[in-house]
């Protein structure tokens, strides 16, 4: 039975009434804020004055509006916005873990996240185990007395495995461990916190903003967690300071109001492309195809109507063929040879040599990332059949089909 939770309606129901009645909230482009008396300033530093703003690295009214909308969308008590997805991920992890702790993570994550977990955290004496996140026995077997966090992506980058958030949350809760989920590939489609995740992180750079004009991120969780993150004395976000510019948060907030329409179109188009690839006899990964190993799981977890997301991948026999295909697809105006995703135009890249290049080749092969994998972020094309025809011509020209 599909959840009746409707993230788009929750965003829609947020009305803003600012000083001059603008339907779009005014941008607060102030770094600091005045107080009418010094005592209130002191109280604000102590965190006792709800609604008072102190300094924009701490909170900014424009950022607060975006954060509140994200919390509505995720059904979490609170949220905090950051200057990048990586800032959200790294601050949230560092807020949860200290020296001597242990993390279990999906081996398949965005390459930057993998690099942080694999290369950076050991410097701080935080140990990380990399597992196949769909193998729950392996997750359980890796739990130790100092395990503090299970980390995964709802739909993993770039292999498009689907994490069983409910099952992982049950495993985590039983042992008093936190579950953190990166939901960048599936905003609105999946609501990780409703399925049991304690913390949800995002690269807003992708689908949520959708226009490839800025880098941004978000952390959604309990009010206690978000307050701790922004605590002036020991909050990771406050002290590391990856604050989002309010001009940007204002434009992302506007784009959030079209997210539901965009997600439906991304998903619709990706489904058409995935089916066409399948008919052409290509090896395709798309969680909306019934043969995907977690198709049923995703169908049971998703909110109705937003589809199976815009991300898919094909596996070609070699990196040379993948490169040649991408080169000619760009010339034929299929989209851009570019990293990133969730854009209104189609983007494609060879994951092993780009967004997963931080993952050593032997680990890539072990997790099933073949050298000829081409990841597509399917755009909002009005006539997706025309795009499919263009891709088909490229594939025929290279004798791939």
DSSP 263-315: HHHHHHHHHHHHHHHHHTT-EEE-TTSTTSTTHHHHHHHSBTTSTT-SEEEEE
Q: Is the dihedral of CA 75, 80, 84, 85 positive or negative?
A: negative
Instruction: Find the shortest distance in angstroms from Cβ 50 to ligand PLP.
Output: 30
Is 217 a residue that touches ligand PLP (CB under 6 A)? Answer: yes
Among 53, 59, 80, 110, binds ligand PLP (CB under 6 A): 110
What is the rounded distance in angstroms from the CA atom of residue 396 to the CA atom of residue 142? Answer: 46
**DSSP state letter for 23:** S
Q: Please, which residue, 93 or 394, has the CB nearer to ligand PLP?
A: 93
What is the rounded distance in angstroms from the CA atom of residue 313 to the CA atom of residue 159? Answer: 8
Is 157 a residue that touches ligand PLP (CB under 6 A)? Answer: yes
Q: Please, which residue, 165 or 395, has the CB nearer to ligand PLP?
A: 165
Is 400 a residue that touches ligand PLP (CB under 6 A)? Answer: no
- Give me the residue whose beta carbon is nearest to ligand PLP: 85
Binding-site string for ligand PLP from residue 185 to residue 204, where x marks contact by CB under 6 A and - marks none: ------------------x-
Q: Please, which residue, 185 or 277, has the CB nearer to ligand PLP?
A: 185
Stretch that binds ligand PLP, among 14-22, 61-69, 82-90, 311-319 (CB under 6 A): 82-90
Among 44, 63, 76, 84, binds ligand PLP (CB under 6 A): 84
Cross-strand bridge partners of residue 105: 130, 151
Instruction: Find the shortest distance in angstroms from Cβ 372 to ligand PLP.
Output: 20
E strand or H helix at 262: helix 259-279
Among 76, 108, 355, 356, binds ligand PLP (CB under 6 A): 355
Is 346 a residue that touches ligand PLP (CB under 6 A)? Answer: no
Q: Is 177 left (phi over 0), alpha (psi -120 to 50) or beta?
A: beta
Stretch that binds ligand PLP, among 8-16, 80-88, 254-262, 269-277 (CB under 6 A): 80-88
Please provide residue 43's backbone torsions phi and psi, each rounded to the nearest 5 degrees.
-65, -35
3-state secondary structure 175-238: HCCEEEEECCCCCCCCCHHHHCCCEEEEECCCCCCCCCCCCCEEEEECHHHHHHHCCCCCCHHH
Instruction: Report which of 276, 313, 7 is spatially closest to residue 160, judged by C-alpha positions.
Output: 313
Is 85 a residue that touches ligand PLP (CB under 6 A)? Answer: yes
Stretch that binds ligand PLP, among 1-9, 81-89, 252-260, 267-275 (CB under 6 A): 81-89
Token duo for residue 171:
């495993």
What is the rounded distance in angstroms from the CA atom of residue 289 to the CA atom of residue 316? Answer: 19
Among 44, 147, 161, 205, binds ligand PLP (CB under 6 A): 205
Instruction: Find the shortest distance in angstroms from Cβ 191 to ligand PLP.
Output: 17
Please provide residue 153's backbone torsions phi and psi, each rounded to the nearest 5 degrees.
-110, 140
Q: Please, which residue, 62 or 205, has the CB nearer to ligand PLP?
A: 205
Is 343 a residue that touches ligand PLP (CB under 6 A)? Answer: no
Which residues of this chain interact with ligand PLP, rule CB under 6 A? 84-86, 110, 112, 153, 157, 182, 184, 203, 205, 215, 217, 340, 355
């Amino acid at each position: 039975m599909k959840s009746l939770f409707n993230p788009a309606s929750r965003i829609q129901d947020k009305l803003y009434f600012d000083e001059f009645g603008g339907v779009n909230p005014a941008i607060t482009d102030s770094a600091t804020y005045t107080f009418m008396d010094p005592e209130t300033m002191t109280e604000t530093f102590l965190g006792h004055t709800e609604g008072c703003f102190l300094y924009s690295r701490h909170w900014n009214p424009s950022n607060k509006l975006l954060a509140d909308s994200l919390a509505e969308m995720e059904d979490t008590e609170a949220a905090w916005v950051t200057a990048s997805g990586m800032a959200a991920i790294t601050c949230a992890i560092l807020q949860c873990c200290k020296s001597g702790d242990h993390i279990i993570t999906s081996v398949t994550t965005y390459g930057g996240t993998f690099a942080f977990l694999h290369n950076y955290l050991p410097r701080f004496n935080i140990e990380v185990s990399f597992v196949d996140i769909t193998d729950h026995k392996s997750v359980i077997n890796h739990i130790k007395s100092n395990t503090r966090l299970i980390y995964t992506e709802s739909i993993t980058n770039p292999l498009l495995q689907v994490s069983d958030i409910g099952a992982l949350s049950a495993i985590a809760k039983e042992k008093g461990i936190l579950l953190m989920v990166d939901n960048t590939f599936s905003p609105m489609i999946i609501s990780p916190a409703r399925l049991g995740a304690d913390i949800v992180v995002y690269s807003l750079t992708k689908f949520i903003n959708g226009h490839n004009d800025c880098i941004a991120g978000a952390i959604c969780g309990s009010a206690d967690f978000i307050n701790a993150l922004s605590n002036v004395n020991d909050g990771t976000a406050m002290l590391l300071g990856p604050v989002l510019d309010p001009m940007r948060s204002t434009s992302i907030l506007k784009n959030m109001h079209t997210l539901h329409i965009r997600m439906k179109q991304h998903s619709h188009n990706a489904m058409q492309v995935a089916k066409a690839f399948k008919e052409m006899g290509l090896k395709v990964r798309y969680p909306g195809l019934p043969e995907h190993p977690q198709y049923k799981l995703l169908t049971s977890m998703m909110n109705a109507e937003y589809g199976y997301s815009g991300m898919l991948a094909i596996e070609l026999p070699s990196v040379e063929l993948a490169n040649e295909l991408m080169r000619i697809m760009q010339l034929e105006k299929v989209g851009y040879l570019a990293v990133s995703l969730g854009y209104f135009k189609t983007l494609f890249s060879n994951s092993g040599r780009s967004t997963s290049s931080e993952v050593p080749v032997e680990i890539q092969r072990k997790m099933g990332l073949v050298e000829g994998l081409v990841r597509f972020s399917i755009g909002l094309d009005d006539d997706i059949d025309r795009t499919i025809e263009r891709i088909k011509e490229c594939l025929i020209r290279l004798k791939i089909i």
